[in-house]
Structure 1
Amino acid sequence: MLYDCVIVGGGFAGLQAAIQLGRYRHHVAVIDAGEGRSSICKNYHNLIGFPDGISGAELLASGKSQAKRFGTAFIQAKVIHAERDGEAWKLTTSDNQSFRGKRLLLATGVKDRLSDFRMLIPCMGNSVFVCPDCDGYEVSGKPTLVLGAGNAGARMALTLTHWTSELIYVNHERVLVDDELRVQLEEHGIPCIEQMVRDVILSEEQFKGIVLDDGTVINRSRCFIAFGGNEVRSDLARQLGVELMENKHIRIDPRTKLTSVKHVWAAGDVAGHSEMVTIAMGDGSQAAIWIHKSLITASKG
């Protein structure tokens, strides 16, 4: 079957695009491997209509159900190869399925580097956070730990001084921190501990603190993770010859979300690195509008 548009990635950008395209009555398929960062967040606090928060899983399930109302097909698979196939795009998955679309939207996102701390995933969005723009408010006036590596962790700690002065930075990977950043940490009274973490203290799905390599216990109820080096999932774009930025994010037209390759769009974190639900949704809607215009123009031609 030839779809009007195939969307790779079923996160917030991909789902919002699917809903919009479905309302244009286009035939759409979403291919998603179920590995998106939004699926592990237990609570989003900064969205209109959810003052008490909503989990990523709930929001994704709602979006998928809504998209299905408009006939969107959902395929759980991982796309490993993309190529042009005549006037269409052909996508091949790891289980050797193939899907074709007249238009292609890449909403493949970013994967956070959690280093040795995947055990913190159940705490994400409740007491452990990765995005200060989304969740800095959640640590307002609270003793907070930053687990990170080198400059990435140092910058996170400094960013969080907007909300709290009670900060400790543990440079778990003992990566060199620039002198300028060390000076700023000292000026803000933020200890920079150059030790690995031996153990993490949890109470069900709540972060409670850490045990350092030397046995020192640091009790904290809030934690931010900042190791840097997140995986930008732009490999399919590279296969198609799409122009990438130096940081591997996809370069797009800010108005249309079109990439450097005709009939290939990108939205969400893989493009703008927004790391916010609201912006990802907006990207998806915007891309869908221009995909629709492209399809309509082609049908009239």
Structure 2
Amino acid sequence: MYDCLIIGGGIAGLQAAIQLGRYNHKVLVLDSGDGRSAICQSYHNILGYPDGVSGPYLREVGRQQAEKYGVEFVMGKAVNAKKLEGGFEIQSEHGDSYQAKRLLLATGVMDRIPPFPELMPTLGITVYVCPDCDGYEVKDKSTIVMGSGKAGANMALTLAYFTDKITYVNHENKEVEQEKLAAMKEKGITYVEWPIEKVLADGPDFRGVVLANGEELTSERGFIAFGGNEVKSQLAQQLGVDLHKNKHVLVDPRTKMTNVENVWAAGDLVAHSEQTTIAMGDGMQASIWIHKTILAEGKR
């Protein structure tokens, strides 16, 4: 039985794994290999990386760093979770089971990204999903918001702080309230209701979109805002963890422990601003308190 099983090998999970490894605990990270950090090609707002750093790079070096401290990694998606006497059992999609005395959920959130393969190399470089992370990247640049209904309208209005050259393409033609339409008009935002037929990009460089009516819209930058992002809190629900109304996990702000004893949560899964640096802090904070509870049991 492991001292701690971490579900998710993204930023929060890796930071916790590194710290728990430095405490000499027996730790396993069960990682599905997907998530935001697996597809973001560049983060621009992280201390120490003025030219940006990719999520895949952070994941790779983070794993190597954790393995130096004896942390084990298994690739696979966790699908079932249950309480045991003195611990927990997690079952992967492949049918393998893992047991641990402590559990850290770092399963994250996944954005709803339209199925245009040309977008993937651009994410975090010229096309973005988070205005707090990357609104600055569109400063004074022509920008196409690829979105749906209210979510896309809100994104376009938010980005108007950075640029006055915005086009919002309501790809799914979902309803937008009149007050939003009026606000966009006031800000000079061009509103288009045609669906996108094709995304134009040269590798990481976004160039625009082709609409279903054949019209080509060119742009220097893009933003994605479809709403309906998946909060991966299914395991938390199985364990009886309290969730916010938006399905994010509720935790003690000091310890990051959930309402279920010996179950912690960290990163985007938790109800707060979804930022890479906050995920790092969450992972560190959770790992410290996980260690404290192990010490309190007289393990070391």
Distance 2:149 2:117 in 1: 19
Superposition CA RMSD, Å: 1.2
Distance 1:212 1:83 in 2: 48
SS of the residue 1:238 aligns to: helix
Per-residue CA shift, 1:140-159, capped at 9, x if unaligned?
11000100001100111111
2:26 is aligned to 27
User: Normalization by structure 2: what TM-score?
Assistant: 0.97
Are the counterparts in 1 of residues 244 and 271 from structure 2 also a CA contact under 8 Å? no
Are the counterparts in 1 of residues 109 and 269 from structure 2 also a CA contact under 8 Å? yes
After TM superposition, list the pairs within 5 Å mapping 1:78-157 onto structure 2. 78-157=77-156
The residue type paired with residue 85 of structure 2 is: G
The residue type paired with residue 158 of structure 1 is: L
Are the counterparts in 2 of residues 274 and 280 from structure 1 also a CA contact under 8 Å? no
Query: Structure 2: which 5+ residue stretches go unaligned?
Result: none
2:265 is aligned to 266
Are the counterparts in 1 of residues 116 and 198 from structure 2 also a CA contact under 8 Å? no
Are the counterparts in 2 of residues 8 and 31 from structure 1 also a CA contact under 8 Å? yes
Are the counterparts in 2 of residues 268 and 274 from structure 1 also a CA contact under 8 Å? no
Distance 2:260 2:61 in 1: 32
The residue type paired with residue 152 of structure 1 is: A
1:49 is aligned to 48
Are the counterparts in 1 of residues 4 and 101 from structure 2 also a CA contact under 8 Å? yes
Are the counterparts in 2 of residues 22 and 72 from structure 1 also a CA contact under 8 Å? yes
The structural deviation recorded for 1:132 is 0.9
Distance 1:122 1:116 in 2: 13
The residue type paired with residue 46 of structure 2 is: L
1:187 is aligned to 186
Query: Structure 1: which 5+ residue stretches go unaligned?
Result: none
The structural deviation recorded for 1:272 is 2.7
1:173 is aligned to 172
Distance 1:62 1:275 in 2: 22
SS of the residue 1:207 aligns to: strand
1:77 is aligned to 76
Distance 2:184 2:215 in 1: 21
Runs of 4+ off more than 6 Å: none
Are the counterparts in 1 of residues 267 and 279 from structure 2 also a CA contact under 8 Å? yes
Are the counterparts in 1 of residues 147 and 226 from structure 2 also a CA contact under 8 Å? yes
The structural deviation recorded for 1:206 is 1.4
Distance 2:89 2:299 in 1: 24
User: Normalization by structure 1: what TM-score?
Assistant: 0.97
1:232 is aligned to 231
The residue type paired with residue 279 of structure 1 is: I
